[in-house]
Structure 1
């Protein structure tokens, strides 16, 4: 990384796309474009994969690196990573295989368990698969969360407190994914933990999420308001729990094979932290959790973006040498 001239590097920031998280992605992309320019890169342009001529613009643009700010389908599921690998363009964040692992909540839970990371008890359903409400309630209890197994940003997530609510919640989740995850609702403090870096990871300050009294959980209506209203950094946790969250977030990052950065969400119960999911491309809007954690760690968002670009270019150089 030392000696690399930033003003000679052409950066394509990819944002928008086709997913239900398009608008959030565009906000992340615009924030990233501003930060990357502040970091001293001379040629930075936002490109939308849903726009006509996108592939031609990528292939013919002589881009040195793609900065991925795509969320949800087409971004976090490995699709754009496969396209960029085919085009021979280095890109930020996790590779295609790790993106697939992170995007599939059922698969990621298996990898968490293998790495010794506590997870919530749950069951997965495939589209078209029959299910027995009574059997699910008997196994998991009545207090549940139902979520799309392959999606992000709380789209299609429902809180269930009664068996009668479960079928509608399942169908709502199927509107966003072909696989649905039903999990026990855990009681505790909701926190999020971002990590940044290559082989040596920096665990950022743990952020506690304090939802307004009129909100049942950290849904879309809550996520993109003024973070000072809902983010408490550092989280008010016992020292052991605080350190454990940071350690487990790094372990989850490595278990999924992530690169550059990730952000994992937890519930800190009376028995300790339990992981909910890992975002391989965290939200990067001005009110998102990851940039807020960076600010409290004293790391400029522009320098974090530059670090992600450096990691991407180093990974490409290492691959070319093999």
Structure 2
């Protein structure tokens, strides 16, 4: 838990919750706060398996997974290769495109590059390709706002995704051991589902049941499984969507180490499926 990414605070909360769940079930475990340069302290300890709740870079991009693989140590979730691809929004979209999955139009640009011609309509979402939790994302409603949005995104990454902004309702599908859990609809009071809405706002609403018809919910679950499988993700994760006014779904992104805090969506979906938080943690670690 912890890490040195922009999501450190959330990861510490996730780690505390997961640690307590393991202790509740009599599992011999310890917390390890990875600060980015203290892994020698981890290798000095004996353990059978690492439960990874490191969000963002270092924990969700394959880095810690690769370190564990190098030492032939077991861990939860997707392997280093899949994690690396899932963390990169551009790579993820490229793979999903090959599998004919529903996506908004987009282009990428990097620091020092001329922005490619954008042939899809405003508004646009501008987002760093390697950040999670909606960090660094801006909505561009006029072309004059693009430079400012790029400047914000480039604070977090050298490469940025410019994507057609789809107006609609946000939904998320949690995956656990090959099955899609009940869909959650996310309703925010301010703008879009950004970092503040995710972790600090008490006004954000999470609807489960999600108010979709059974057919539409099953459609989202099916696409989520396809998206999860296409990227070779494993064990658990979360796939995020927007549905436009015509109920047409668009994939947003995949999270291979989603939040496990009191505000988090995977525990909420698991509860709707009849799994307690403790049971969810056990299902993740026992895969």
2:13 to 4, 8, 27: 27
Q: CA deviation at 1:39?
A: 2.7
Distance 1:173 1:225 in 2: 21
Query: Corresponding residue for 2:195?
Result: 220
Q: Deviations over 1:295-322 (max 9, x none)?
A: 11111121221122122xxxxxxxxxxx
For residues 83-142 of structure 1, what are the alpha-carbon distances to aligned partners after superposition, in whole Å with 9 as ceiling and x for unaligned? 11122211101000000110010110111122221011010112221226xx32xx1222
- Partner of residue 298, structure 1: 274
- TM-score normalised by the chain length of structure 1: 0.85
TM-score with structure 2 setting the length: 0.95
Root mean square deviation of aligned Cα: 1.5
CA distance 1:217–1:226, shift in 2 (3 Å): closer
For structure 1, list consecutive stretches of 5 or more residues without a partner in the other structure.
Answer: 1-14, 312-322
Report the equivalent of 1:310.
286
Q: Residue 47 of structure 1: SS of its match in structure 2?
A: coil
Q: How many residues end up aligned between the 2 structures? A: 286
Equivalent residue number for residue 60 of structure 1: 44
- Measured after TM superposition, the shift of residue 272 of structure 1 is 1.9
Report which of the two structures shows the higher radius of gyration computed on alpha carbons.
Answer: 1
**8 Å Cα contact 2:197-2:204 kept in structure 1:** no
Query: Which residue pairs with 2:95 in the alignment?
Result: 111
Structure 1 equivalent of residue 30 of structure 2: 45
Match of 2:235 in 1: 260
Equivalent of residue 203 in structure 1, options 180, 188, 193: 180
Is the Cα–Cα contact under 8 Å of residues 51 and 285 in structure 2 kept in the other structure?
Answer: yes
Cα deviation code 1:58-100 (max 9, x no counterpart): 2221110111010111011100001111222111010000001
Q: 1:241, 1:272 within 8 Å by CA — same for their partners in 2?
A: no
| CA displacement, residues 186-212 of structure 1 (integer Å, 9 cap, x when unaligned) | 122210010100xxx121110000001
Give the CA deviation at 1:240.
2.5
Which one of 106, 117, 120 corresponds to residue 104 of structure 2?
A: 120
Which structure has more helix as a fraction of its residues? 1
Deviation string, structure 1 residues 269-304 (Cα, Å, up to 9, x no partner) = 215211000001111111111111111111112122
Aligned-partner Cα distance in 1 for 2:204–2:192:
14
The CA distance in 2 between the partners of 1:155 and 1:310, in whole Å, is 31
> Is the contact between residue 143 and residue 184 of structure 1 (CA under 8 Å) also seen in structure 2?
yes
